[in-house]
Amino acid sequence: MVLVNIGNHFDLKASVFQAPRRGIYSFSFHVVKVYNRQTIQVNLMQNDYPVISAFAGDQDVTREAASNGVLLMVERDDRVSLKLERGTLMGGWKYSTFSGFLVFPV
Amino acid sequence: MVLVNIGNHFDLKASVFQAPRRGIYSFSFHVVKVYNRQTIQVNLMQNDYPVISAFAGDQDVTREAASNGVLLMVERDDRVSLKLERGTLMGGWKYSTFSGFLVFPV
Amino acid sequence: MVLVNIGNHFDLKASVFQAPRRGIYSFSFHVVKVYNRQTIQVNLMQNDYPVISAFAGDQDVTREAASNGVLLMVERDDRVSLKLERGTLMGGWKYSTFSGFLVFPV
């Protein structure tokens, strides 16, 4: 479910944000792992490159989040997305969030 | 303790933020559970509706945070607050944070 | 590695952000503890005072983050930084992030 998509720069089908203009953007994510014994690693990708990672690996909790956030210099038409680098999300992306906004143009 | 309350739109007694104008707001929270064996679920409420949730359920750690963040389209006079949906905070809200700001008006 | 340092107000050697002007700033951090049995406490410092804290104390996970975020009223030339108040980061600051930006001047 997409709560906010001003400018319509988030491609729902591909789950990829494409930057409408050059600037500094703030991105943050919280990916919730529902009970399973796998460790997950989530990467924030700028185009095809991983920028930051987050981990959730606890075996004895019901729900645990892999969270991180970053400011990025983004060129026009750069694509920013989340990639599940390791593990699986058996419960899907429920409760998970991914947010980004332009802090200021450059 | 409120660190920043520009515009005085955060009602200290009720712990509710009331939006001074329509726009996109960024909200984030980190609710810290001090050692206890209960799982907590924290909901971010827009008026009376839960928008996102976060969980902390580990039994063997001293302090653990239930964190999440979101961008929201908020109407003028909408109320945004945190609700402890499940569990109790035995140590109170110490170390917990709740922040929001207007990203841009709409 | 510094991804964004517009205005060059982040001192790389000291890892301290010095505010170029008075205003409300948003800061967030995610400090990743690689497997060790120590609890860590990370403080966000404004000048020499701790403002908020975050904890990671799980003993049986590979990587765990101590995360928090806050809006702060910052005076010109105030210094904002992270301090490892308790524990050690055996793996260094790998995967950890620290971000801040001016929300609006006051």
Q: pLDDT at position C50, please?
A: 93
Whether B71 and chain A come into contact, CB under 8 Å, resolves to yes
Measured between CB atoms, which of C6, C67, C99 is closest to A67?
C67
In which region does residue A85 sit, left (phi positive, over 0), alpha (psi from -120 to 50) or beta (all else)?
Answer: alpha
Spell out the residues 6+ positions from residue C49 whose beta carbon is closer than 8 angstroms to its own. none
Of A16, A8, A20, A11, the residue nearest A75 (C-alpha): A20
Spell out the residues 6+ positions from residue C35 whose beta carbon is closer than 8 angstroms to its own. C61, C62, C63
Chain B residues with beta carbon closer than 8 angstroms to that of C26: 26, 99, 101
- Answer yes or no: do B4 and C72 touch at CB < 8 A: yes
The residue whose two tokens read 């038409």 is A77
Measured between CB atoms, which of B30, B58, B95 is closest to C69?
B30
Residue A100, H or E segment: strand A97-105
Measured between CB atoms, which of C57, C59, C67 is closest to B67?
C67
Give the pLDDT mean for C62-84: 90
Of C99, C100, C83, C89, the residue nearest C45 (C-alpha): C83
B60-74 pLDDT, tens per residue? 677 888 999 999 999
ipTM: 0.84
Tens-digit pLDDT string for chain A (106 aa): 666 677 767 776 667 899 999 999 999 999 988 866 778 899 999 999 999 999 987 776 778 889 999 999 999 999 999 999 988 887 778 888 999 999 988 8
- Answer yes or no: do A6 and B59 touch at CB < 8 A: no
State how far the Cα of A47 lies from the Cα of B57, in Å rounded to an integer. Answer: 35
State how far the Cα of C10 lies from the Cα of C16, in Å rounded to an integer. Answer: 6
Whether A103 and chain C come into contact, CB under 8 Å, resolves to yes
CA distance B54 to chain C (A): 13
Lowest mean pLDDT among A76-85, B4-13, C65-74: B4-13
C6-47 pLDDT, tens per residue? 766 777 666 789 999 999 999 999 998 886 677 889 999 999
Domains and CATH numbers, chain B: 12-105 (2.60.120.40)
- Answer yes or no: do B70 and A32 touch at CB < 8 A: no
Greatest pairwise CA separation for chain B in angstroms:
45
CB within 8 Å of chain A, chain B residues 78-97: none
List the end-to-end C-alpha distance of chain B, in Å, as a whole number: 30
Does the pLDDT value for residue B43 go beyond 90? yes
Of B29, C98, C64, B39, the residue nearest C55 (C-alpha): C64
